[in-house]
Amino acid sequence: MADAAEQISTDLARLDQLRAEIGRHNTLYYGIDAPEITDAQYDELMRELRDLEARFPDLATEDSPTQTVGAPPSTGFAQVTHPVPLLSLGNAFDLEELAAWHRRAARLIGDEFEMVCELKFDGLAVAITYEDGRLATGATRGDGRVGEDVTENLRTIGSLPKEVGAEAPGRIEVRGEVMFPISEFESLNRWREEEGLAPYANPRNTAAGSLRQIDPSVTAGRPLQVFAYGLGYPQDGVGADTHLGTLGYLSDLGFSVSPNHRTVDTVGEADDFYREWLERREELDYACDGVVVKVNRLDYQRHLGHVGREPRWAVAYKFPAERRETVLIDIRFNVGRTGTINPYAVLEPVVISGATIRQATLHNEDNIRSRDLRRGDRVVVERAGEVIPQVIASLPEHRAGDPDEFEMPSECPSCGHGVVRPEGEAMSHCMNSGCPAQLTRLIEHFVSRGAMDIDGLGEKQVAVLLEKELIADAADIFRLQERREELVALERMGETSVSNLLGAIEASRSRPLARVLVALGIRLVGAEVASLLARRFRDMDGLIAASPEEMEAVPGIGPKIARSVADYFSDESNRDLVDRLRRAGVNLADADRAEPREQVLAGKKFVVTGRLSRFSRSEIQDMIKDLGGSVSGSVSKRTDFVVAGEDAGSKLAAALELEVKTLDEDAFLAMVDGPDAPGSPEL
Ligand code: IVH
């Protein structure tokens, strides 16, 4: 019995952890175009979360990553609410899963229905609205409901029609995928490497980054392309009765529609199309990560509808990660910003899904040993979802002689200091806090896009600034304007780049607190955790003064994170860095700094329902979270309070049935104004 209870509490903890983790990866992938894990790893996390949610349906929330798409829109652009949400697609990873999708659809529309197979482009989804034949707005997917207004950026794409003529009456919404051609991607990266800038991860992120430029003239300089694959909402007299007809209609209006599609009647034929493109995908100059199979008749599509965020009328039949053989020339090590010694493979260059791979991560010592990778081996390299390539196996049958088994270095490759692998940990660490490689990595991280985002400071520039002693730590970056002459004198610099760089540094002074927290490089503090901490403590001093217990009271912050943050600030040199940033005029407090609120709702679970008069839904949700509570989309026995506005329906009924306390807005306000407030219910 105790075991079962323990298991449940482990599962529940894992559920929260998965939501937070997936949320973080969503932000990395959709929000800042800098993924840290492969698509396959992401799919695995989503699968685990779905399984857990299926076992604990009471705990489903509206904002779970299984119910939402992508990440909320970033703040640099105006927001656009999609009249009809942009859905995601369910995945099938093998023929059996494709057949299962077909059976589910057949239950609703009968066994025999035609399908259209087309390519699944791995770019950035957009919805483009034309009013009376003219391009009016273009938006990214965002979280599926609200996206970013990128109209002006889309206008710069030459092949996208700006007018569609009289055949498109009233208002139509065209949906498609913005792509960055692979050939252009490779030449852009070659140029970036020559300039000492970090290469972009993959064409998808590059397309996203190019489209989401605040200055559309930057987008105009990028070779973007849009493939149209559907209409946003059906409208009488517009388009056709079938998906195939829609593709023809879009093409007639002047949109680029991929010619690589075909109608099929059976799952077997869909599989043939899939296999054909699995072979042929290298012919394409666009990243393609599978095939989309869609029910052809639009009336069937409407009848099938969607479940959660996924339509029943379409499925993504995903290509497996691509694998290639090559030679492992060398195993080398770099030193991470926290001193980890990270092994990586130097490979004989090999082209995998359109990108030339020269290096791959090897993760850690155990990974290398378990695969028995040795220098000179022929190896299999996998590149899943266009993200970090991995060496997955060696082919020892090709081994010449008996190369040495792999050994971790006992000294730091940068400073020569001793390397230690702490008991129970996977990574070895350089124990020298003054290690120059750690400092370099930390500064590279500090200026990177998810952190202070200082454009023009890439790896090479950081190395030069350190080498020339123009900076000795991150805070010195903000004193570079005093050394303008020396900067101009550097190779490849010059007046204009120096002005741009100093401008970018100036702009970064006002980044929100969460970004600064990310930039410090505290272990376990990524974007998600940083924004939770910033939201709760509002300014750096509040956070520095907080005890681990106070941090742990924030939902989403566990004991390990709290310990890591507290340890970081207990180190005098770190506090000194923060002081120097403060003196340099870096923002350390969020603008709407209110006094940190007492966590009067700590641990309490709320459901909000009905129409409220004093708050918008998101205002009251933010307020509950600010005060330490959490908000869920459905009422269960674990709910503490239901805040009900006008016309509250089934959730209020559920609350009454389950005897959960209900509050109107006034009672809610009285409660949060403090326990002494008259009429406040007891917590
Ligand atoms: S149809 C209801 N067709 O894949 C969703 N999507 O993983 C209908 N995508 O958000 C989407 N190629 O951005 C469709 N030929 C294609 C596609 C495609 C790429 C993207 C799209 C979607 C994502 C879902």
Contact call for residues 490 and 468 (beta carbons, < 8 A):
yes
Mean pLDDT of 521-537: 87
Picking from 136, 137, 147, the residue whose alpha carbon sits closest to that of residue 86 is: 147
> How far does the centroid of ligand 1 lie from the alpha carbon of residue 386, in Å?
17
Q: Which of 257-261, 285-289, 548-552, 595-599 has the lowest mean pLDDT?
A: 595-599
Q: Which atom of ligand 1 is nearest to the CA of 118?
A: 15
* Higher local confidence (pLDDT), 164 or 32: 164
Average pLDDT score over residue span 84-95? 92
Cα–Cα distance measured from residue 64 to residue 632, given in angstroms and rounded to the nearest whole number: 9
Nearest-CA residue for atom 17 of ligand 1? 120
Q: How far is CA 374 from the centre of its chain?
A: 34
Any atom of ligand 1 within 6 Å of the Cβ of 250: no
Q: What percent of the chain has pLDDT over 90?
A: 49
Is 29's C-beta closer than 6 angstroms to any atom of ligand 1?
no
**Strand, coil or helix: 403:** coil
Nearest CA to ligand 1 atom 16: 120
Euclidean distance between CA atoms 394 and 378, whole angstroms: 6
- Provide the phi-psi class of 486: left if phi over 0, else alpha when psi is between -120 and 50, else beta: alpha
H helices of 60-150, in order, are: 95-109
* Ligand 1 nearest atom to the CA of residue 177, by list position: 13
User: Does the structure show a pLDDT above 70 at 675?
Assistant: no
Q: Which of 30, 87, 101, 121 to mutate to test the pocket of ligand 1 (most atoms within 8 A of CB)?
A: 121
Sign of CA dihedral 109, 111, 114, 120: positive
Would you say 229 and 281 are in contact if contact means Cβ atoms under 8 Å apart? no
Task: Report CA(174)–ligand 1 centroid distance (Å).
Answer: 12
- Closest to 518 (Cα-Cα) out of 593, 458, 452, 602: 452
| Distance from C-alpha of 84 to C-alpha of 86, rounded to nearest angstrom | 7
Per-residue pLDDT band at 235 (split at 50, 70, 90): low
Which atom of ligand 1 is nearest the CA belonging to 316?
Answer: 7
3-state helix, strand, coil in the chain (%, to 5): 40, 20, 40
pLDDT (tens digit per residue) in 168-201:
778 899 999 999 998 898 888 778 767 766 667 6
User: 269 or 13, which is more confident?
Assistant: 269
**For residue 34, pLDDT beyond 70:** no
Taking residues 648-676, report their average pLDDT: 80
The winner for highest mean pLDDT among 62-66, 219-223, 275-279 is 275-279
Query: What does R_g of the chain's alpha carbons equal in angstroms?
Result: 27
Of the two residues 595 and 466, the one the predictor is more confident about is 466
| Least confident segment among 63-72, 189-198, 278-287, 463-472 | 63-72
Q: Is 252:167 a contact under the CB 8 Å cutoff?
A: yes
- State if residue 120 touches ligand 1 by the CB under 6 angstroms criterion: yes
pLDDT of residue 648: 80
Q: How confident is the model at residue 1 (pLDDT cuts 50, 70, 90)?
A: very low
pLDDT at 683: 44
Stretch among 85-89, 105-109, 351-355, 572-576 having the lowest mean pLDDT: 351-355
Ligand 1 within 6 A of 230 CB?
A: yes
69 pLDDT tier (thresholds 50, 70, 90): low
Calculate how far, in angstroms, residue 440's C-alpha sits from the geometric centre of ligand 1: 40
> Which tops the pLDDT comparison, 667 or 101?
101
SS3 57: helix
Mean pLDDT on 670-674 = 73
pLDDT tens digits, residue range 302-319? 999 988 888 999 999 999
120 flagged as catalytic: yes
| pLDDT single digits (tens) 587-617 | 999 865 445 567 788 888 999 888 887 777 7
Residue 289 beta carbon below 6 angstroms from any ligand 1 atom: no
Of 511 and 16, the one with more pLDDT: 511
Instruction: Check residues 464 and 556 and name the one with the higher pLDDT.
Output: 464
Residue whose CB lies within 8 A of the most ligand 1 atoms, among 128, 140, 174, 177, for a mutation test: 177
Average pLDDT of the chain, as a whole number = 86
Kindly tell me if the per-residue pLDDT of 71 is higher than 80.
no
Rounded Cα–Cα distance for residues 112 and 300 (Å): 11
Evaluate if residue 438 carries a pLDDT over 80: yes
Residue 88 beta carbon below 6 angstroms from any ligand 1 atom: yes
Is any ligand 1 atom within 6 A of the Cβ of residue 343?
no
Instruction: Please give the Cα distance from 9 to 56 (Å, whole number).
Output: 12
Q: What is the pLDDT of residue 197?
A: 66
Six token digits for residue 306:
């969607």
Ligand 1 close to Cβ of residue 295 (< 6 A): no
In tens, the pLDDT along 135-160 reads 999 999 988 889 999 999 999 999 99
Q: Is the Cβ atom of 125 under 6 angstroms away from ligand 1? A: yes
Angstrom distances, CA of residue 326 to CA of 332, 345, 390: 17, 11, 12
Lowest mean pLDDT among 262-266, 350-354, 376-380, 672-676: 672-676
Q: Distances in Å between the alpha carbon of 469 and those of 198, 336, 367, 423, 460?
A: 22, 21, 38, 37, 14
679 pLDDT above the threshold of 50? no
